[in-house]
Structure 1
Amino acid sequence: MKVLFIHPFGSNWLGTGTDITTIFNLMPPLGLLSIAAFLEARGIGTEVIDCYATPMPAETLVAEVIRRRPDVVGFSCTTSSFLEGYSIAERIKEKAPGITTVFGGAHACSVGVGLLDTFPAIDYLVIGEGEQTFFELVTNLDHGGSGIPGVGYRENGKGVISALREHIANLDDLPFPAYHRLPQFPKRYILPLFSYPKAPNTSIISSRGCPYQCSYCDRSVFSRGFRFNSPEYIVEHLKMLNRDYGIRHVFFYDDLFTTDRARVARFCELKERERLPVTYNCIARLEHVDAELLRLLKRSGCWQVNFGIESGDPEVIKKHRKFYGLDEVQRKLQLVRDTGMRVKGLFMVGLPGETEESIRRTIDYALALPLDEINVTKFTPFPGAPLYATIREQGEFDENWPLMNCLNFVFVPHGMTREQLEGLYNEFISRFYRRSRIHWGYTKMLWKSPHSVATFLRHLPEILAFELKQKW
């Protein structure tokens, strides 16, 4: 048995133009790598093609798949990459109909078995966590998926699922992701520029799920439960990355790294004791942050803390997530900076119920916060998010899957226009970054993040070419 995993590109980052984002931000497909490692530990051969790291024309990719002669090809797709992944699956089926195709990832989990009714080149879906489900499926293909929890299959021509898969109780039972299946790891992979002090670097995930229920978040893969690796497991994971790949900085890409305070405290203690030469970034919720926790993070090598702020309008916040006091946000972000770590704010534009006034309120609020940098996404109503069910009642929604990547305004709230949203989005970015305080902050990156500066300068021709193309 041989399984080949494909991570389709499918970016369509701004709808048009050349995508240069992967030059400055490319993280390994950790979900695929975790399943691959699980299969390998049970004697099943695996290979991985990450189309982000190794882009190639569809014809070349299909020829490569046929050359490798896998028994099963597994696709992990977001909503924006699903149709590209499906197109590849169709071509594989045309050339080698005996190859079994399996789709998983966020889009398969959120849309569900109905995909099997309209996309015939898909043989099976993996719904939910993939490790145990994928293993049971590929070792029981003769049974057609029937009776395997978490597998979507066809019965009398219609997509069905026998039962949902229970979550893996102990994440420490999982092997470390199969990074060795990425030929260019870690050289080709990089965290966002200026968000790390050292290279090589990468991302890791040490927990699954989130106990909160924000209106815009898709929780269809891991649902609302919260499970996590032990501090001991995390430290061993970091040791392996440092020893085997020379990794010097990681980004904990958990939805909420700081949810379990005891775990974080123990991790900080162990990492500090081990003197492990790996710094890190993490994502935290404002409710979890206090001076004691921040000191623990700093002592153990935390370099930057990211916070999902989303909006500076109290009514918008109340509608879409657990409410927090806007004055309290400023106080806690300042605590992070006073402890000696960078602060990044995550915002969203175009949420249902927003107006030009509320968005401008968010812009002014963001400029008043002690932030080192921001990330502003364009709200996208994903099928697995709570508000998806009523999204068409709240505005104009162009459900064009390839453009649903948080970089295109596929949804426009009532009372606004797409042009208006684009203008406010550009104003947000421009006003934040064209300030002397931010300029000075990036000037300090010459010695704080020299690898980022070198990478930026090395790719300056591509940046200038893109800027020129956008103007014309």
Structure 2
Amino acid sequence: MTRSHVILIQACKFSLITEKYKERYPYPPFGLICLANILKMNGYDVTIIDLYLEPLSKREFVKKLTQSKRPLLIGISSYTDSILDAYKIAETAKEIYYDVPIIMGGPHVSFMFEEVMKDCYAVDFCCLGEGEPVLVELLEYLQYGVPNLKDIYGLVYRNSLGQCIANPKRGFIDSLDIMPFPWFSEKVQSIIREGEGFVFVSSRGCPGECIFCASRALSGPKYRCHSAEWLASLIYYYYKLLSFKMFGPLDDTFTANRIRLKKFLSYLKILEINIPWSCKSRVDVIDGELVEILYKSKCISVHIGVESGDDEVLKSIEKRITVEKVLKAITLLASKGIRAECSFIIGHPSDTLESIERTLILADKLDKCGVAISVMGICTPFPGTKIWNRLKLYELQYGLKIHTYNWRLYDLGTPIFSTNNFTLDDLRRAFFYFNYLRKTGQILPLLTKYNHSNYIKMIDDYLSIIHKIRSTNEDEVNQKNDV
């Protein structure tokens, strides 16, 4: 028998502003799903409102809340670009359930909780980091008065004087296998059945130190992952239930633990799950052995974060790779017919117009060679990242200047800062060219008169190798077909 009802809401940019706004977001809110599963294990009835998957106007949102069972607690999760909309959600929910406490969490809140508590008085609590144990203990407090609020690590609250009190942070969940399988709504299940594929998250924490990413600060430097047994069981369960045609883990470093990867894939073979899949990896772990493992298991694409086409910039953003290593990794993948999906970022603090040009050249050539797809964003100083924590240093070092703190613009597509070496307009032009103009056949407009001939030759040399490999592979396939 369930004890009480909890409503969990995934905030979305422009939530509740207009009925016409519809943004298709292909992934379910795994953070809230994990929270919901733990709460259900503890006897709570949980409703998830995912405003990405189900965009609602304010009127529709109010109707959904009023038709819902009265909750003991309302939880809201938000990213940086949707935090202002999360405030509106909290305020709207408070108008309906004025005496129901609201807790807010997510990446932005974990680092900016003081601002959140100051700017949105509808928020009663903030959660720092992983929320599963925090929510369980908070619900126990709301029902029974124990434990005391000050003893719930990872919780931020207001005392009787209205002062913001932040408890010590809680340690990370070490063994993720204690978590139950994620349970997806009927709507998400129908999307998977219709051919979107099955996606999941199998780890937390990141061994990388990239200055533009807050993952390490949020989830810790230790790579914590579900076991191969847990993961294979998850795939098998949903494969039998939903009959999906492909799957793809969303982990940034799915291939980091090679022993787990081998065991996981061997279990899939035993379970006779022989379908295409894709994953994300890092350039510095891709070698011949890994590519062979991926190829034999029907992996069709690998996403890698390249981030820059300039070695000095790559060093400054602590990426631990070089352009040549990127090209070697893509060549290895192409040798087995595996497509590389490369993401780039322009406007790093150390970028110059010349280095941005090199990034555009590399991304453009990879995209047009037919063996890789390139996507490009603009460097954004999210709270919790090393960039955010080093703003004063970068101001002295590069003349970095933040031009806006309107969180809605922190969307990876809007320039936020300039330096002595580039302006906001420089970034707008480069971004607009790569994502729009070049698709109409327009030639890359160089930002400087710098001669990139040697750089272009290095790229072309690797691409010629890739083309030879592809031609050889195609000839072998044709010969087999002729036989």
Note the alpha carbon deviations across 1:148-198, whole angstroms, 9 max, x for none. Answer: 11111112322222221111111011011121xx341133469xxxxxxx9
- 2:133 counterpart letter in structure 1: Q
1:239 lines up with 2:236 in the alignment:
yes
Contact 2:206 2:220 in 1 (8 A): yes
- 1:151 counterpart letter in structure 2: L
User: What's the counterpart of residue 6 of structure 1?
Assistant: 9
1:185 lines up with 2:181 in the alignment:
no
Contact 2:130 2:172 in 1 (8 A): yes
Point out the more displaced range, 63-72 or 281-290: 63-72
- 1:361 counterpart letter in structure 2: R
Identity level (%): 28
TM-score if structure 1 supplies the norm length? 0.84
**Could you say what secondary structure the match of 1:346 adopts?**
strand
Distance 2:172 2:381 in 1: 26
User: What's the counterpart of residue 156 of structure 2?
Assistant: 152
Distance 2:218 2:31 in 1: 11
Distance 2:227 2:271 in 1: 16
User: What's the counterpart of residue 466 of structure 1?
Assistant: none
The one of 264, 281, 294 aligned to 2:291:
294
Distance 1:433 1:147, change over 3 A: same
User: What's the counterpart of residue 452 of structure 1?
Assistant: none
- 2:378 counterpart letter in structure 1: K
Contact 1:171 1:228 in 2 (8 A): yes
Shift of 1:419: 2.3
**Could you say what secondary structure the match of 1:186 adopts?**
helix
Shift of 1:45: 0.6
Distance 1:378 1:167 in 2: 31
1:256 lines up with 2:253 in the alignment:
yes
Distance 1:339 1:70 in 2: 53
Distance 2:118 2:270 in 1: 55
Runs of 4+ in 1 over 6 A off after TM superposition: none
User: What's the counterpart of residue 82 of structure 1?
Assistant: 83
Contact 2:199 2:248 in 1 (8 A): yes
Distance 1:120 1:38 in 2: 28
- 1:419 counterpart letter in structure 2: D
Shift of 1:245: 2.5
User: What's the counterpart of residue 432 of structure 2?
Assistant: 426
Distance 2:301 2:408 in 1: 32
Residues paired across the two proteins, number = 422
Structure 1 segment 36-51 matched on structure 2, within 5 A: 36-51=36-51
- 2:402 counterpart letter in structure 1: E
- 2:10 counterpart letter in structure 1: H
Distance 2:131 2:275 in 1: 29
Can you give the 5+ residue segments of structure 2 that lack an aligned partner in the other structure? 443-483
TM-score if structure 2 supplies the norm length? 0.82
User: What's the counterpart of residue 285 of structure 1?
Assistant: 282
**Could you say what secondary structure the match of 1:221 adopts?**
helix
* Aligned-CA RMSD value: 2.4
Shift of 1:99: 1.4
- 1:301 counterpart letter in structure 2: K
Distance 1:81 1:189 in 2: 26
- 2:221 counterpart letter in structure 1: R
Point out the more displaced range, 38-47 or 220-229: 220-229
**Could you say what secondary structure the match of 2:429 adopts?**
helix
User: What's the counterpart of residue 459 of structure 2?
Assistant: none
Distance 1:19 1:85 in 2: 16
User: What's the counterpart of residue 61 of structure 2?
Assistant: 61
User: What's the counterpart of residue 141 of structure 2?
Assistant: 140
Distance 1:19 1:380, change over 3 A: farther
Distance 1:296 1:351 in 2: 34
Shift of 1:411: 2.3
Contact 2:253 2:282 in 1 (8 A): yes
Distance 1:21 1:417 in 2: 30
**Could you say what secondary structure the match of 1:184 adopts?**
helix
Note the alpha carbon deviations across 1:273-332, whole angstroms, 9 max, x for none. Answer: 322144321111111111111111122231210100000011111111233232221111
**Could you say what secondary structure the match of 2:80 adopts?**
coil
Distance 2:111 2:402 in 1: 21
**Could you say what secondary structure the match of 2:81 adopts?**
coil
Distance 2:402 2:128 in 1: 29
Structure 1 segment 420-459 matched on structure 2, within 5 A: 420-430=426-436, 433=439
The one of 205, 214, 239 aligned to 1:218:
214
Can you give the 5+ residue segments of structure 1 that lack an aligned partner in the other structure? 191-197, 437-472
Contact 1:186 1:201 in 2 (8 A): no
Note the alpha carbon deviations across 1:431-471, whole angstroms, 9 max, x for none. Answer: 765679xxxxxxxxxxxxxxxxxxxxxxxxxxxxxxxxxxx
**Could you say what secondary structure the match of 2:151 adopts?**
coil
Which has the higher relative contact order, 1 or 2, with Cα contacts under 8 A spaced 6 or more apart? 1
Distance 2:296 2:97 in 1: 55
User: What's the counterpart of residue 474 of structure 2?
Assistant: none
Note the alpha carbon deviations across 1:229-254, whole angstroms, 9 max, x for none. Answer: 11111111111221223322222111
